[in-house]
Structure 1
C-alpha cells in the first residue's frame, strides 16, 4: 500500500496530536470506567491510545480509522503490541451508530465526527453523547484557538472541522449535555515538539525517497502543514477535555 504524509509523520509520534500520552492516560484514570467496559478510540491513527486503553485500563477496546493507509499502520502496531483491540476501518459516525453504546469514547483530533462535512463543536458533542452509556465518558482533544486567528488562518485550519477557544469548547460540551470534569491545554513546548517530530519524519523520508511516487504529495502536505503551524504558532494550541455525559 502507498504511503502518505500522515502515515510517515504519525509513525514517528507516540500520540498523533500535540498532547502527551501521560496526559491522555492521566485523564482516563480520572474516569470511573471499570475493566471490561466498552471503549472506542475514534480516528485511532497509530493506535497508541487504543492499545493503552486495552493494556493499561483493561477496557474492551475498538479502534476506528477511516484512512486505509493509516489503518495499515494501526493494524501493525496492534499486532506488535499483542493488545486485544478490534480495528474497524470506516467512518466514525457510521461505526459508532451501528455499535452498542460505549462507556468511554476517546476522540483526539478527529475529523468529520458525526458525518457532517464541517461539524460544529456543538453538533459533534451532541452526536457523541448519543453513543455513550448513561453517565459515560468522552475524552475529547482538538485544536483550540489560544488567540483570535487571522481570517486566512481560520479558513485553512477549519477546512474539515470548525474550532473554537477553550471557553467555547467547554460551553459547547455543556450545551450538548456534558459535565466538564477536567481539561488542559498542552504546554507550548509539547505542541512544538509534536510539530517538529512530524515535520522531521517527513523531511527524513523525502530525503531517503526522492523518487518515490508519493514524494510530491508528501512534500506538498509537509510544506503546507509546516507553514500553517509556524504562522499559526501564536494562535493554535491543543486542548484535552474529559467530559461526563449527564443523565
Structure 2
C-alpha cells in the first residue's frame, strides 16, 4: 500500500479504472483514433496508472502519465513497473500544469474525472477543453470524461459536486467542445451499473480499511471523505451521470 493513505488511494487501488467507466469502453474509444504504435499520449491524473498502462500495452503508445497525489503516484508506479510496456511509460509526480508547460504537442490526451486538468485552477469545461486543445497536434485526439448533469440539481447538491470542478450537461459538453474547436467523434454515458460499481467499491474499500485501522492517524480523514462521497452521491444520484467523449482537433 502507498506510503500515505487517503480515501482515493484506498478506492482506486481496488478499481480497474478510477471512474464510473470500464476498460473495454476506453479501448473502444482509443481504437477509433487509429493511432499507430509510437504515437505520443499524455494521461492527466493517471490515478492508479491503469489507463496509462493500457495505452502502452494494447496500443503501443509512448505515454507520459502525470499524478500529483503522492499516494496515488505510488500505486501507479507499482503498476507501471509490473507492466511489460514499462519502458514506454514515464510517470511524472507533479501538477498537470508543470507537464503541459514543457511537453511538445501530443497525439492523444486522456483526462477522465480529473481535478484541475490544466493546472491553473480553471474549473469551467469550455475553458479546460480549449486549453487542452492547444496542446494537441493538428488531427490529435482528446479523450475527455467527467460527470454531467442530467437534470437541474438542488442548489446544495450542485455546490457540493462543484467544489473542485464545474459540470455541464451532455449537450453542454458538445457545445464546449465545439467552442474549443474540437469535433465530437463519439460520446457515451456510462450505465448506472458502472456508477454503482464505482461508488460501491470505493466505499467498501474505505470501510474495510477503517475497520482494520481504527486508530491510524489517517482514519479520521478517510472516514470523513468516505462519508462525504457516500452522502453526495446518495443525494445527487438522480442528477448526475458520467460520460466519455472522444474529441478531435481538426487537421487545419
Q: Under a length normalisation based on structure 2, what TM-score does the superposition of the two structures give?
A: 0.96
Q: Is 1:133 aligned to residue 133 of structure 2?
A: no
Question: 1:80-118 CA distances to partner (integer Å, 9 max, x unpaired)?
Answer: 223231000111122022111110011001111223324
**In 2, are the aligned partners of 1:137 and 1:244 still within 8 Å (CA)?**
yes
Residue 177 of structure 1 and its aligned partner are, at CA, apart by 0.5
Q: Is 1:240 aligned to residue 244 of structure 2?
A: yes
1:82 aligns with one of 81, 84, 106 = 84
Aligned position for 2:66: 64
d(CA) in 2 for partners of 1:31 and 1:203? 39
d(CA) in 1 for partners of 2:185 and 2:247? 6
Comparing 230-239 and 115-124, the one that deviates more: 115-124
**In 1, are the aligned partners of 2:4 and 2:70 still within 8 Å (CA)?**
no
Residue 20 of structure 1 and its aligned partner are, at CA, apart by 0.9
| Runs of 4+ off more than 6 Å | none
Where does structure 1 lack aligned partners over 5 or more consecutive residues?
none
Where does structure 2 lack aligned partners over 5 or more consecutive residues?
none
Q: Is 1:45 aligned to residue 70 of structure 2?
A: no
Aligned position for 1:193: 197
**In 2, are the aligned partners of 1:118 and 1:160 still within 8 Å (CA)?**
no
d(CA) in 1 for partners of 2:212 and 2:150? 36
For residues 149 and 158 of structure 1, do their structure 2 counterparts lie closer, same or farther at Cα, with a shift above 3 Å needed? same
**In 2, are the aligned partners of 1:114 and 1:123 still within 8 Å (CA)?**
no
Aligned position for 1:156: 160
Residue 54 of structure 1 and its aligned partner are, at CA, apart by 0.1
Residue 5 of structure 1 and its aligned partner are, at CA, apart by 0.4
d(CA) in 1 for partners of 2:56 and 2:102? 21
Question: 1:18-62 CA distances to partner (integer Å, 9 max, x unpaired)?
Answer: 111110111001112111010011000000000000000000011
Tell me the number of residue pairs that the alignment of Structure 1 and Structure 2 aligns: 247
**In 1, are the aligned partners of 2:122 and 2:128 still within 8 Å (CA)?**
no
Q: Under a length normalisation based on structure 1, what TM-score does the superposition of the two structures give?
A: 0.98
Residue 184 of structure 1 and its aligned partner are, at CA, apart by 0.3
